[in-house]
Amino acid sequence: MIENITQEEFQTVRRISTEGWAVQNLQPLSGIKFPCRWRHQKKTGICAGSTLVHRSAKKGGFRVSATCKKEIFYVFRYE
């Protein structure tokens, strides 16, 4: 039997983060921001969330620009 599921149900099965879903749902020329919860390299300050965000965008078939400033993570989709 085939049953319909919700995005929330799929999210629990696929184990993608809330931030990952938000990135995949970005429309062209739009952006989001959210509190950063990832670790940062001590020497460079590079945020580990950057990898997650770029992978999520790639799965959605597009690219984004992303940066973490003062514990807020910013993502913008240009294309």
pLDDT tens digits, 18-77: 888 899 899 999 999 999 998 888 888 788 888 889 988 998 899 999 999 888 999 999
Q: Would 48 be classed as within a structural domain?
A: yes
29: alpha, beta or left, given left = phi > 0 and alpha = psi -120 to 50? Answer: left
> Which residues partner with 73 through β-bridges?
34, 68
Task: Note whether residue 25 is domain-resident.
Answer: yes
The single residue listed with the structure tokens 């919860």 is 37
Residue 11's pLDDT is: 66
In a domain, 22, yes or no: yes
For the beta carbon of residue 53, count every other beta carbon within 10 angstroms. 25
Residue 3 lies in a domain: no
Q: Is the pLDDT confidence value at 1 over 90?
A: no
23 lies in a domain? Answer: yes
Counted domains in the chain: 1
Considering the domain boundaries, does residue 4 fall inside one? no
Tell me which residue range forms the domain holding 61.
Answer: 18-77
The answer to the question of residue 1 being in a domain is no
| 13 falls within a domain | no
